Amino acid sequence: RRTVRQYERAGVAAIHIEDQESPKRCGHLDDKKVISTEDMVQKIRAAVDARTDDDFTIIVRTDSIAVTGWDDAMHRCDEYVKAGADVLFVEALRTPEEVERAAKNLDIPLLFNFVESGKSPLLSAIELEKLGFKIVIYPASALLSVTHVVGQVMAQLKKTGTTAHLMDNMVSLGDCFEAMGLSSMLAEDAQFAQPSVGV
């Protein structure tokens, strides 16, 4: 309840609540554990009760397909909707058929987690929208890309002793600083800087 209120006050648009036991695992790993349906329903009810802004969206995730199977996952989804979920996030759907089946079975906005080299099929946002999914997230795309590129750069550095020949594939230092907002930070520093006092 406290988390929902704090997020609302901070201007956050949505919260994501899940049914994994703590400590949680990535949804695309094996050997996950989930709490009981009843305990999760109570978590959702508490979040709904704490909400004061009707536009604050409660996204409810279940990892149960890999743990307790399809039928239990669909039962959980039904119970989660009754408890007040605004959006359902059925994690790690394993085949295009499961994705389509989930979309047909669940009459509520759905979220799809697009994880390259994960357990779910890599359907495009257009395909998912046609099936009825309203939200698609790409939580690993940048990380997996950066990890690959950093590995390549480090291998070249080890092999050649330089990265000068890779600069065409890099942003400039200035562009990097701009992407981080350095110029506005420096402007703020200048605006509020204390004048030096001579001794």
User: What pLDDT sits at residue 143?
Assistant: 97
Distance CA 90, CA 128 (A): 13
User: What pLDDT sits at residue 197?
Assistant: 64
Residue 61's beta-bridge partner residues?
18, 89
Distance CA 199, CA 193 (A): 18
Please give the DSSP secondary-structure letter assigned to residue 91: T
How far is CA 66 from its chain centroid? 19
Distance CA 74, CA 64 (A): 9
Helix (H, G, I), strand (E, B) or coil at 21: coil
Q: Which residues of the chain have pLDDT under 50?
A: none
User: What pLDDT sits at residue 196?
Assistant: 67
* pLDDT single digits (tens) 70-103: 999 999 999 999 999 999 999 999 999 999 999 9
User: What pLDDT sits at residue 199?
Assistant: 55
We find that the CATH architecture of domain 2-139 is Alpha-Beta Barrel (3.20)
Residue 72 neighbours by CB under 8 Å, 6+ apart: 37, 64
Give the pTM. Answer: 0.87
Q: Where in the chain is the domain with CATH 3.20.20.60?
A: 2-139
Task: Find, among 62, 65, 70, the residue nearest to 44 by Cα.
Answer: 62
CB environment 71-85: b (16+ within 10 A), e (fewer): eebbebbbbbbebbb
